[in-house]
Chain A
């Protein structure tokens, strides 16, 4: 039973560039949430996707956008990268109706120089 997978593991980008991060949910899950975790901080909720639509969104600018595909996998896109976007980006999957349990992936470490 495959868990949540994310790619790439690490990424280095230059300020102003755009980046796409990818997530495959745990087998049987249909909901994907994205989080940003700055060094030494707890994760911050970016948004959640279900049925290929954004269902909830945290306090992040429009530079952060996402997509969910029919196979439930998801992408996080960040435009016009800022130095402050450097963080660990976590993807978590769950099954709608289960309510409580979210499974996290290993994360993508993004460094913006």
Chain B
């Protein structure tokens, strides 16, 4: 069964600190892996997208890594800010179908709270 598991479920850190969120998946075949940031009650916003051939991708203070062999990814947040408080969702896509993304499998997300 295609699954995406994220850990930890929730995390509280102090402003300015770094943190790393984990994502393990069993989706196969695999096309790409994405990290989204979702504020409460809002739609997800894309942070990074990586194909199986990419090991790392950065977007400002966000750096995602991917190990396609072990089917693991991580999202590292550097120098956290209060505005980083949100849910971070790992999403894995199967192969493209007719040029469009296949069925996206979403993790349940990690709820990050950044405290002053």
* Chain A residues within 8 Å of B, Cβ to Cβ: 4, 31, 33, 35, 40-45, 48, 50, 55-56, 58, 88, 90, 92, 94, 96-107, 109
Chain B residues with a Cβ under 8 A of chain A: 4, 31-32, 34, 36, 41-46, 49, 51, 89, 91, 93, 96-104, 106-109
28 A-B pairs (CB sep. < 8 Å): A31-B100, A35-B106, A41-B108, A42-B4, A42-B91, A42-B108, A42-B109, A43-B104, A43-B106, A44-B106, A45-B103, A45-B104, A48-B100, A50-B98, A55-B97, A90-B43, A96-B99, A99-B31, A99-B32, A99-B100, A100-B34, A100-B93, A102-B46, A104-B36, A105-B43, A106-B42, A107-B42, A109-B41
B36 nearest in chain A by CB position: A104
Say whether B109 contacts A100, CB under 8 Å. no
* Complex-state Cα separation, A31 to B32, whole angstroms: 18
